[in-house]
Structure 1
Amino acid sequence: MFKTTRRKLIAALLLTPLMTSAAMAQGKGLMTIIVNDPANPYWFTEGNVAKATAEKMGYTAVVAAHVGDTNTESKLIDTAITNKSVAILLDPANASGSVGAVQKAVAANIPVLLINAEINKDGLAKAQLVSNNAQGAALGAQQWVKVMGDKGKYVELFGAPSDNNAATRSNGYKTVLSQYPDLKKVAQEVANWDRTQGHNKMQAMMQANPDIKGVISGNDEMALGAIAALKKAGKLKDVVVGGFDGSPDAVAAVKSGELAYTVLQPVAVFSEEAVKQADSFIRTGKTGAKSEKQLFDCLLITKENVHKYSSPFVLDK
């Protein structure tokens, strides 16, 4: 209940128009950045990095959140158009359902660059910058097998079905794990990238399958929820849990040994890059990238290299 109230409060605050016409007239213009849910540290970092980069480059920037709702997303796009944004950076709410919102902005001659997630239509957005989820899922699955072994029962926590990333990661896991016939997936539950849902779905899967040896998760929040459920049941020491994102809480869990690994999505890198490409398009009519869709490789964080982790979603080299 507290989490739901917190999300509504965050959404309400971010939906409030904070920019006056005078303020928006300063500098190079307004960049509107629309993320999913800043209650999740991944999306919080996405918005913060993009905003800081835009302001450093001389733009005014505002961050808003649709919290996975396409109606809210559409209204935020309307606000961005009304406020004469020079560019919109959008983490789309829905691969198909967000197409209309992007079309509205394009019709208003505002360039849209997508970050973190794609839409099911090419040629609308000037760029789509996302993690290489297939590559990251393969990395994670290989490490999961290395820690767990090549036999035993396991379960999977699946992200939001409306987000193409959920299926891409799940398929990436399957590609690797299907090579091990003695690994048996006995359950898969949708937990919508959410820690509370991950906890609740994990409890249900444990009750139905008390002898599982592993949990492979589509993101860190769901994995951390699973860990909480396993700890409560006194089973965490016997179950290998793997995550995906590289969030601060997940990194702490890797350090403590509760999480076997996490796959770092370079959200800070491609959020910054999206702003630079938006600036390039505003100035020259071109993003400077070779293609609309751009993949950024993920990195594996384990107990062996976790000491290199410094700031949110960045791994020092």
Structure 2
Amino acid sequence: MFRMKTLGALAAAGALVVGLTACSSGSDSPEGEGDGGSGGGDEGGLITIIVNDPANPYWKTEGDLAQAKAEELGYEAVVGSHTGDTNTENTLIDTAIANQSAAIILDPANADGSIGAVKKADDAGIPVFLVNAEINEAGLAKAQLVSNNAQGAALGAQEYVNQMEEAGTYVELFGAPSDNNAQTRSNGFSTVISQYPDLEKVGEEVANWDRTEGHDKAQALMQSNPDLEGVLAGNDEMALGAIAALKEAGELDGVVVGGFDGAPDAVEAVKAGEMAYTVLQPVAEFSQTAVELADEYIRTGEEPETEKQAIDCILITEENVDNMVSPFVYEE
């Protein structure tokens, strides 16, 4: 039987988006047509926000909170999604440049593949502030604001060890290989778990942050390892997919599943005792902070003192899950 703690996965890429998918502050066109000045509204100009896939609550929250903060500060804000595709990302960056955006808030599609898009915006004189994921080149973005994935992975892995009682077999569901966060989390898990020789990883599959892939890959791993006791996933969506597979097989009881993101469905799974924990990423904090830094730069020309900034994660268990007061928001 499995004792499962799974780390949840992010939603899979959806249909290709070739333009901005949402707009606000009185403009009916995602192109910002008819706006003067720096391409946006009558006050502070246009801030273009580009996320991965708003079908996933994590990225929807990221876009919604950044948009709300921009509007609060007097900007027009539009939100687009690239669903992990660098070609779509390039199209969205081209649109942001054509609209003379005052700044771009970007969750990059690919650590290497997004470098060209960020450079293009920088060459056009538009400051870019990255959130959630990094690119593998410094000095192009004005800031790169991310969760402290190494700290969060270690936090989750230690809880995983405790829930597994320091022994047993487990499998890992790995996120998208193009995203540095996937390897960082996996390394963090390994660093902690390797200190416990009675914990044995018997399989690993790439599930690309996706719930459906997490379900299917977990099924395959269960068939290969019928006595599995744990599932460790790189994010909540993959973990939730694994939980579904375990339920279908009647094997959820006794299997430890650990999550990562703090997504609403994962929070409910923790409350229900189906997921042992999730690690809350501070998406609410870095999404709003990125807009504040963009506003500071637009108004004063001052860049953040530090380009890469990592914000610590919070472990969510049955003991403190009621402190989740709204999606991705934790209050003591």
- Aligned 1:81-160 pairs, distance under 5 A: 81-160=97-176
Residue number among 39, 54, 64 corresponding to 2:55 in the alignment: 39
Structure that is richer in helix per residue: 1
Aligned residue number for residue 81 of structure 2: 65
Distance 1:194 1:286, change over 3 A: same
Query: How far apart, CA to CA, are the structure 2 residues paired with 1:204 and 1:142?
Result: 26
8 A contact 1:157–1:198 mirrored in 2? yes
Aligned residue number for residue 206 of structure 2: 190
Give the letter aligned to residue 192 of structure 2: V
By how many angstroms is 1:25 displaced? 4.0
By how many angstroms is 1:290 displaced? 2.8
Aligned residue number for residue 257 of structure 1: 273
Q: Which has the higher contact order (CA 8 A, sep 6+)?
A: 2
Aligned residue number for residue 33 of structure 2: 20
Aligned residue number for residue 276 of structure 1: 292
8 A contact 1:10–1:39 mirrored in 2? no
By how many angstroms is 1:7 displaced? 2.9
Query: How far apart, CA to CA, are the structure 2 residues paired with 1:69 and 1:51?
Result: 22
8 A contact 1:156–1:188 mirrored in 2? yes
8 A contact 2:62–2:287 mirrored in 1? yes
Please state if 1:164 is matched with 2:162: no
SS for the counterpart of 2:14 is: helix
Please state if 1:237 is matched with 2:253: yes
Aligned residue number for residue 50 of structure 1: 66
Over the residues paired in the alignment, what is the CA RMSD in angstroms?
Answer: 1.7
- TM-score, normalization: structure 2? 0.91
Give the letter aligned to residue 310 of structure 1: V
8 A contact 2:31–2:95 mirrored in 1? no
- Higher mean alpha-carbon deviation, 276-285 vs 22-31, is at 22-31
8 A contact 1:10–1:38 mirrored in 2? no
Give the letter aligned to residue 15 of structure 2: K
Residue number among 3, 14, 23 corresponding to 1:7 in the alignment: 14
Query: How far apart, CA to CA, are the structure 1 residues paired with 2:296 and 2:45?
Result: 14
Q: Deviations over 1:229-251 (max 9, x none)?
A: 00000000021000000000000
By how many angstroms is 1:295 displaced? 0.6
Aligned residue number for residue 25 of structure 2: none
Query: How far apart, CA to CA, are the structure 2 residues paired with 1:182 and 1:36?
Result: 38
- Higher mean alpha-carbon deviation, 166-175 vs 23-32, is at 23-32
- Aligned 1:299-314 pairs, distance under 5 A: 299-314=314-329
By how many angstroms is 1:10 displaced? 7.3
By how many angstroms is 1:284 displaced? 1.2
Aligned residue number for residue 178 of structure 1: 194
List gaps (5 residues or longer) in structure 2: 1-10, 23-28
- TM-score, normalization: structure 1? 0.95
SS for the counterpart of 1:216 is: strand
Residue number among 194, 205, 215 corresponding to 2:221 in the alignment: 205
- Higher mean alpha-carbon deviation, 53-62 vs 9-18, is at 9-18
Give the letter aligned to residue 317 of structure 2: T
By how many angstroms is 1:22 displaced? 2.9
By how many angstroms is 1:312 displaced? 1.1
Give the letter aligned to residue 234 of structure 1: G
Give the letter aligned to residue 306 of structure 2: S
SS for the counterpart of 2:202 is: strand
Distance 1:292 1:82, change over 3 A: same
List gaps (5 residues or longer) in structure 1: none
Give the letter aligned to residue 19 of structure 1: G
SS for the counterpart of 1:8 is: coil
Query: How far apart, CA to CA, are the structure 2 residues paired with 1:10 and 1:120?
Result: 24
Give the letter aligned to residue 307 of structure 2: E
